[in-house]
Amino acid sequence: MDKAKILLDLQVNELKEKGNRALNANNFDEAIAAYTEAISLDNKNHVLYSNRSAAYAKANQFEKALEDAEQTIALNPTWWKGYSRKGAAEAGLLRFRAAMQSYQDGLKYDPSNAALIQGAEEITSLLIQNVTSNFNTPMDVDPQPHTAEPKKSEPPKPAEPNVDEMNEEERKKYLAKKEKEAGNAAYKKKDFDTALKHYHAALEEDPTDITFHNNIAAVYFERKQYDECIKECEKGIEVGRANRADFKLIAKAFARIGNSYRKLENYKQAKVYFEKAMSEHRTPEIKTSLSEVEAKIKEEERRAYINPELAEDEKEKGNELFKKGDYSGAVKHYSEAIKRNPDDPKLYSNRAACYTKLAAFDLGLKDCETCIKLDDKFIKGYIRKGKILQGMQKSSKASAAYLKALEIDPQNAEAIEGYRQCSISYQRSPEDVMKNALGDPEVQQILKDPAMRVILDQMQTDPKAAKEHLQNPAIADKIMKLIEAGIVQIH
């Protein structure tokens, strides 16, 4: 039984449930953070991406919702919910035709699914109303908010104001606004050259508006001209500060600088600017971006610290102190060696030996588990584990560890001796065994289980049956409990 895998699954499930509770309470930021942490532990779990997609969608972060929906489908192409998530995200982005296709793709796998059918019906009505519109609004270039087609009963739009009747300042701001609107229209069509011309023209008319700098920076970002994007945002921030711009616009500029540095893989600088954006205006999206780059920085630092040669030096220092009986000092050197070379199972085995001497059995056991996970053929890991479990008075589990060692090397003297000692510890009088069993409700419940009775009888008549039943984690756990109680013995 892979306890490390079980513990990991439990941790992932706890984070998923935490995210579900937050999502149900409309705490989208908390839900996204919980799902993100769960994904960092299990990035092959399609349900986690599906749940995070739902959280992003409810937080109106539809681009990210779409990315997670697509990842859900990639991991499980026949699961209807991935297509439902994708359709919802595309609908949120006003990509109605794409949303319709996603719902139809999902119905290929589950033709009677009510959620997919309802989604397709809703999109059908929206397509009829908006069939000639362009809904693919890139990034956040301050586009005009999407509204439904005006009803026939609505009054006609007011006539354009007369520029000749405006004063100089009003005229410039009006002309700047018209240039920005023309730039936004070109941006939506990905005609970036034309968009830049209009945004620069808007700046010439009104150089006090940070929005125009932000829009120019958005074009550079789309073109992957990240250095130019950063410079333009810096200009915009300077203009915004001087003209007391809305703090949300300044936060947007800082966040875009952060995203540019992230694209350049300069995560430390990205972190600086996401933090500046948060100081201006906290949003779930910026907080998530900050958490993601912090994780990148941590991983970079971990990788940069790895040095097998220095790890070997630290191991030798630890060995010297271990020989002298300075186990605490040895632990420090082995720990440093592990940081320098975290994939070497021998280092964990050595530190586990120190923890055993210090009677820190829980820490030693954890190192043994890591050691075995890194190399399941490393016999020393099982022997160390057996000795620690003996120290913890868990003879049956210690015996199982020694048996694993003997599977690798049947002649290993340490494993043979450890197993012999564990066998001796089982030799208690039947009266003592029964007394202990009757006092343990868990043991009584196992013995009353008809299925377990059959299994126990089978194990008595067929020695190979024990090994087969131990392959089932649930049965193995019950058998181990009976071994510890002395009711079952392995010979």
Q: Is residue 22 part of a domain?
A: yes
Q: Is residue 224 part of a domain?
A: yes
CATH code for the domain of 36: 1.25.40.10
Torsion sign (Cα): 53, 192, 228, 235: negative
> In the prediction, which pLDDT does 279 show?
93
Q: Residues 6 or more apart from 273 whose CB is under 8 A from it? A: 254, 255, 257, 258, 261
Domain ends where: 304, 326, 341?
304
Q: Is residue 121 part of a domain?
A: yes
> In the prediction, which pLDDT does 472 show?
72
Looking at the predicted structure, is the pLDDT value of residue 218 above 90?
Answer: yes
Domain ends where: 269, 304, 339?
304
Contacts 24+ apart (CB under 8 A), 379-385: 379/405, 379/408, 379/409, 379/412, 379/415, 380/346, 380/349, 381/345, 381/348, 381/349, 381/352, 382/408, 382/415, 383/412, 383/414, 383/415, 383/418, 384/349, 384/352, 384/353, 384/356, 385/352
Cα angle vertex 111, ends 107, 114, to 5°?
85
Pick the residue with more confidence: 476 or 219?
219
> In the prediction, which pLDDT does 32 show?
93
Looking at the predicted structure, is the pLDDT value of residue 144 above 50?
Answer: no
> In the prediction, which pLDDT does 210 show?
95
| Three-state helix/strand/coil letters over the chain | CCHHHHHHHHHHHHHHHHHHHHHHCCCHHHHHHHHHHHHHHCCCCHHHHHHHHHHHHHCCCHHHHHHHHHHHHHHCCCCHHHHHHHHHHHHHCCCHHHHHHHHHHHHHHCCCCHHHHHHHHHHHHHHHHHCCCCCCCCCCCCCCCCCCCCCCCCCCCCCCCCHHHCCHHHHHHHHHHHHHHHHHHHHHCCCHHHHHHHHHHHHHHCCCCHHHHHHHHHHHHHCCCHHHHHHHHHHHHHHHHHCCCCHHHHHHHHHHHHHHHHHCCCHHHHHHHHHHHHHHCCCHHHHHHHHHHHHHHHHHHHHHHCCHHHHHHHHHHHHHHHHHCCHHHHHHHHHHHHHHCCCCHHHHHHHHHHHHHCCCHHHHHHHHHHHHHHCCCCHHHHHHHHHHHHHCCCHHHHHHHHHHHHHHCCCCHHHHHHHHHHHHHCCCCHHHHHHHHHCCHHHHHHHHCHHHHHHHHHHHHCHHHHHHHCCCHHHHHHHHHHHHHCCCCCC
Pick the residue with more confidence: 120 or 44?
44
**Nearest of 138, 135, 142 to residue 215 by alpha carbon:** 142
- pLDDT grade, residue 139 (50/70/90)? very low
Average pLDDT over every residue of 155-163: 59
Q: How many domains, in total, are found in the chain? A: 3
> In the prediction, which pLDDT does 445 show?
84
Q: Is residue 396 part of a domain?
A: no
Q: For the chain, what percent of residues have pLDDT higher than 90?
A: 54
Torsion sign (Cα): 226, 232, 235, 236: negative
Tokens for 137, please give them. Answer: 């609004």
Q: CB neighbours (10 Å) of residue 431?
A: 8
Looking at the predicted structure, is the pLDDT value of residue 140 above 60?
Answer: no
Cα angle vertex 144, ends 142, 150, to 5°?
170
Q: CB neighbours (10 Å) of residue 218?
A: 26
Q: What is the pLDDT of residues 344-394, one digit of tens each?
A: 999 999 999 999 888 888 999 999 999 999 999 999 999 999 999 988 878
Tokens for 20, please give them. Answer: 């579900």
Domain range spanning residue 217?
Answer: 208-304
- First CA to last CA across the chain, in angstroms? 20
B/e letters for 458-479, b = 16+ CB within 10 Å, e = fewer, are ebeeeeeebeebbeeeebeebb
> In the prediction, which pLDDT does 346 show?
95
- pLDDT grade, residue 431 (50/70/90)? low
Shared-domain flag, residues 213 and 125: no
Q: Is residue 325 part of a domain?
A: no
Q: What is the pLDDT of residues 411-428, one digit of tens each?
A: 999 999 999 888 776 555
Q: Is residue 280 part of a domain?
A: yes
Shared-domain flag, residues 220 and 119: no
Shared-domain flag, residues 16 and 114: yes
Q: How far apart are CA 8 and CA 38, in angstroms?
A: 10
> In the prediction, which pLDDT does 428 show?
53
Q: Is residue 413 part of a domain?
A: no
Domain ends where: 130, 145, 176?
130
CATH code for the domain of 486: 1.10.260.100
Mean pLDDT of the chain: 85
Q: How far apart are CA 167 and CA 316, in angstroms?
A: 82
pTM: predicted TM-score of the whole model, two decimal places: 0.46
- pLDDT grade, residue 265 (50/70/90)? very high
> In the prediction, which pLDDT does 155 show?
54
**Nearest of 277, 296, 297, 272 to residue 287 by alpha carbon:** 277
Average pLDDT over every residue of 318-328: 94
Judged by average pLDDT, the poorest of 7-16, 226-235, 469-478 is 469-478
Looking at the predicted structure, is the pLDDT value of residue 165 above 90?
Answer: no
Q: Are 60 and 92 in contact (CB under 8 A)?
A: yes
Q: Is residue 366 part of a domain?
A: no
What amino acid is encoded at 11 in this protein? Q
Shared-domain flag, residues 11 and 122: yes
Identify the residue whose tokens are 């010297």: 320
Looking at the predicted structure, is the pLDDT value of residue 130 above 60?
Answer: no
- pLDDT grade, residue 452 (50/70/90)? confident
> In the prediction, which pLDDT does 423 show?
74
